[in-house]
């Protein structure tokens, strides 16, 4: 029966002479392309290294570091997650490791580890497996769509060659460590591992993130084919765009459009009730986040809305109920250069809270589908894709126990104008009003349209939008506190 491993299992070899003739032009070409890549800085390259044990993955990484200019290559290796890492979504550390544009990251098959583990069990839960594969595919799709090129190398050899290689390693006490218990198991169950590899490759092969099988029994051949694959990746002029996913999240909540029109902007609360209720809700919130059950949860709050909608004031009413060691407020402004060199979600992944903590975003990743869309900072295809990427991102947070709540504080244009004027006349608030605010104000209809589309596409049960009238600041603040408190209490 023919298989994708046919060639590799023939253990093809390259003579030293043949290799010597190939080596120099290959190295020159590789370096030349690496420098072009570095200068162009239009993408990062991630090389995923996976495959059968004993096939020389570690040596290959050394080789790439030697053949390429190592100053622009980083090895992304992951150990078993630490306790600290386990307090975050598991994919966070992969996100954090993404190399900047112009450079190369060599990623040990970490992304595939959970799948490999699942497949190596006797009984595989097909739903769980499907979910893991889908999660890996989404991760890769998001990277590729955001200028991270991915190639995946699977190192393979025949049963006999593997046996010989493992025995060689085991025979020397100082290389025996390279064969861990798992490897010995692998060694016993070649067929099973082979089949597992095949399934992973089939499930995750894509034009934009392709697998290449590297025949690994012979060192010369392994080096040559690896270098060739990397060279081909560098030489590719544009990276393939992943097909767009179904934009509807499974958790999307059916909601009418025109949510902003339908709000009761006259909603208000008396000063007296406000003071009393504020204290009451702050007390409840303060208690709720100190419950023992919250230690396995986290809270991610997003605040969006037109300028002067009262985001800062609402946030301060929350933080006053909190212990400064438990929360962080993140004011999101324009991305800095080193952030621009990564996929736009990268900088938010760096700020997600660990279990037991609270992160409050004053503006957020929704900038992608708001200001970046309206001002043209993001291409149409990029912000359109972002709805799905954001839903996936928030799903990752929710899966690790995050309560994700998103608030849109809605004011009418008239109310905004009067606040702008008041700010201009307040000596310690006029810093809050800039020419940009007036420019944004002229874009009011565009923001309304973008916001409505955003609500429609990203209002999910795992991360719902709370669209609140905020012409009366007190009313809005109480509503915010109430919704947060109730969500935490229910969770």
Report the distance separating Cα 467 and Cα 259, nearest Å. Answer: 8
Residue 35 binds a copy of itself, judged by CB under 8 A: yes
Q: What's the min distance (Å) between Cβ of 128 and a copy of itself?
A: 26
Q: Are 182 and 242 in contact (CB under 8 A)?
A: no
Among 33, 75, 392, 455, interactor with a copy of itself by CB under 8 A: 75
Q: Residue 83 or 490: which CB sits closer to a copy of itself?
A: 83
For a copy of itself, what does the binding mask look like between residues 243 and 282, x meaning CB under 8 A? ---------------------------------------x
Count of positions (residues) in the chain: 491
Residue 435 binds a copy of itself, judged by CB under 8 A: no
Window 313 to 352, contacts with a copy of itself (CB under 8 A): 316, 319-321, 323-325, 328-329, 331, 333, 336-338
| Stretch of residues binding a copy of itself (CB under 8 A), selected from 82-90, 122-130, 214-222, 411-419 | 82-90
Q: Residue 79 or 238: which CB sits closer to a copy of itself?
A: 79
By CB under 8 A, the count of residues binding a copy of itself is 56
Q: Residue 98 or 463: which CB sits closer to a copy of itself?
A: 98
Q: Residue 318 or 398: which CB sits closer to a copy of itself?
A: 318
CA 288 to chain centre: 29
Tell me which residue of 93, 55, 67 sits closest to 193, measured CA to CA: 55
Measure Cα distances from 88 to 325, 332, 341, 352 in Å.
Answer: 17, 21, 24, 8
Q: What's the min distance (Å) between Cβ of 57 and a copy of itself?
A: 9
Q: What's the min distance (Å) between Cβ of 228 and a copy of itself?
A: 16
Q: What's the min distance (Å) between Cβ of 158 and a copy of itself?
A: 25
Q: Residue 87 or 468: which CB sits closer to a copy of itself?
A: 87
Window 284 to 303, contacts with a copy of itself (CB under 8 A): 284, 286-287, 290
Tokens found for residue 84: 């600290």
Tokens found for residue 325: 């060691």
| Stretch of residues binding a copy of itself (CB under 8 A), selected from 70-78, 191-199, 204-212, 396-404 | 70-78
Q: Are 16 and 218 in contact (CB under 8 A)?
A: no
Q: Are 137 and 244 in contact (CB under 8 A)?
A: no
Residue 427 binds a copy of itself, judged by CB under 8 A: yes
Tell me which residue of 115, 207, 143 sits closest to 393, measured CA to CA: 143
Q: What's the min distance (Å) between Cβ of 122 and a copy of itself?
A: 28
| Stretch of residues binding a copy of itself (CB under 8 A), selected from 21-29, 112-120, 135-143, 294-302 | 21-29
| Stretch of residues binding a copy of itself (CB under 8 A), selected from 247-255, 295-303, 384-392, 425-433 | 425-433
3-state SS string for 90-108: CCHHHHHCCCCCCCEEEEE
In our burial notation (b when 16+ CB lie closer than 10 A, e otherwise), range 71-104 reads ebbbbbeeeeeeeebebbbbbbbbbebbbbbbbb
Q: Is 350 helix (H, G, I), strand (E, B) or coil?
A: coil
Cβ neighbours for 322, distance < 8 A, ≥ 6 positions apart: 285, 286, 289, 358
Q: What's the min distance (Å) between Cβ of 254 and a copy of itself?
A: 37
Q: Are 423 and 307 in contact (CB under 8 A)?
A: no
Q: What angle do CA 121, 126, 131 make, to 5 degrees?
A: 105
Q: Residue 71 or 292: which CB sits closer to a copy of itself?
A: 71
For a copy of itself, what does the binding mask look like between residues 166 and 185, x meaning CB under 8 A? ------xxxx-xx-------
Q: What's the min distance (Å) between Cβ of 433 and a copy of itself?
A: 12
Report the distance separating Cα 89 and Cα 399, nearest Å. Answer: 7
| Stretch of residues binding a copy of itself (CB under 8 A), selected from 54-62, 186-194, 206-214, 241-249 | 54-62
Among 195, 276, 283, 434, interactor with a copy of itself by CB under 8 A: 283
Residue 165 binds a copy of itself, judged by CB under 8 A: no
Report the distance separating Cα 295 and Cα 326, nearest Å. Answer: 11
Tell me which residue of 128, 129, 190 sits closest to 157, measured CA to CA: 190
Q: Residue 333 or 490: which CB sits closer to a copy of itself?
A: 333
DSSP state at residue 463? B
In our burial notation (b when 16+ CB lie closer than 10 A, e otherwise), range 272-283 reads eebeebbeebbe
Q: What's the min distance (Å) between Cβ of 22 and a copy of itself?
A: 13
Q: Are 406 and 311 in contact (CB under 8 A)?
A: no
Q: What's the min distance (Å) between Cβ of 283 and a copy of itself?
A: 3
Q: Which residues bind a copy of itself (CB under 8 A)?
A: 24, 27-28, 30-31, 35, 58, 61-62, 65-67, 69-71, 75, 77-79, 82-85, 108, 172-175, 177-178, 282-284, 286-287, 290, 312, 316, 319-321, 323-325, 328-329, 331, 333, 336-338, 362, 427-428, 431-432
């Amino acid at each position: 029966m023919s298989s994708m491993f046919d060639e590799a299992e023939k253990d093809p070899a390259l003579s030293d002479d043949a290799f010597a003739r190939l080596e120099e032009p290959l190295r020159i070409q590789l370096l030349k392309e690496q420098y072009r890549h570095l200068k162009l800085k239009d993408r990062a390259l991630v090389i995923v290294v996976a495959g059968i044990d004993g096939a020389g993955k570690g040596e290959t990484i050394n080789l790439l570091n030697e053949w390429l200019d190592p100053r622009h290559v980083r090895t992304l290796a992951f150990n078993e997650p630490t306790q600290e890492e386990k307090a975050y979504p598991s994919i966070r550390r992969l996100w954090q490791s993404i190399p900047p544009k112009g450079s190369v990251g060599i990623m040990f098959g970490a992304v595939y580890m959970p799948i490999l583990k699942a497949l190596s069990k006797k009984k595989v839960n097909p739903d769980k497996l499907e979910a893991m594969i889908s999660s890996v595919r989404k991760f890769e799709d998001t990277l590729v769509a955001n200028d991270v090129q991915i190639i995946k190398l699977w190192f393979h050899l025949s049963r006999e060659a593997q046996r010989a290689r493992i025995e060689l390693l085991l025979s020397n006490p100082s290389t025996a460590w390279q064969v861990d218990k798992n490897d010995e198991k692998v060694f016993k169950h070649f067929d099973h591992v082979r089949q597992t590899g095949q399934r992973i490759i089939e499930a995750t092969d894509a034009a934009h993130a392709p697998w290449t099988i590297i025949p690994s029994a012979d060192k010369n051949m392994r080096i040559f084919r690896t270098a060739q694959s990397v060279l081909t990746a560098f030489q590719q002029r544009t990276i393939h765009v992943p097909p767009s996913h179904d934009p509807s999240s499974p958790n999307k909540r059916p909601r009418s459009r025109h949510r902003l029109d339908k709000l009761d902007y006259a909603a208000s609360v008396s000063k007296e009730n406000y003071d009393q209720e504020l204290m009451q809700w702050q007390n409840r919130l303060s208690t709720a986040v100190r419950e023992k059950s919250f230690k396995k949860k986290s809270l991610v709050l997003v605040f969006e809305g037109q300028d002067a909608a009262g985001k800062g004031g609402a946030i301060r009413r929350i933080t006053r109920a909190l212990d400064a060691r438990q929360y962080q407020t993140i004011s999101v402004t324009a991305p800095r250069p080193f952030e621009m060199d990564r996929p736009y979600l990268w900088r938010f992944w760096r700020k997600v809270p660990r279990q037991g903590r609270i992160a409050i975003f004053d503006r957020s990743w929704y900038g992608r589908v708001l200001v970046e869309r309206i001002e043209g900072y993001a291409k149409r295809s990029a912000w359109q894709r972002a709805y799905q990427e954001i839903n996936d991102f928030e799903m990752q947070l929710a899966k690790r126990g995050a309560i994700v709540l998103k608030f849109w504080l809605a004011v009418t244009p008239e109310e905004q104008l009067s606040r702008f004027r008041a700010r201009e006349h307040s000596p310690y608030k006029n810093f809050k009003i800039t020419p940009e605010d007036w420019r944004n104000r002229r874009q009011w209809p565009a923001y309304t349209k973008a916001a409505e589309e955003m609500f429609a596409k990203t209002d999910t049960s795992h991360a719902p939008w709370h669209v609140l009238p905020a012409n009366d600041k007190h009313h809005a603040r109480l509503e915010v506190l109430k919704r947060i408190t109730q969500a935490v209490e229910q969770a």
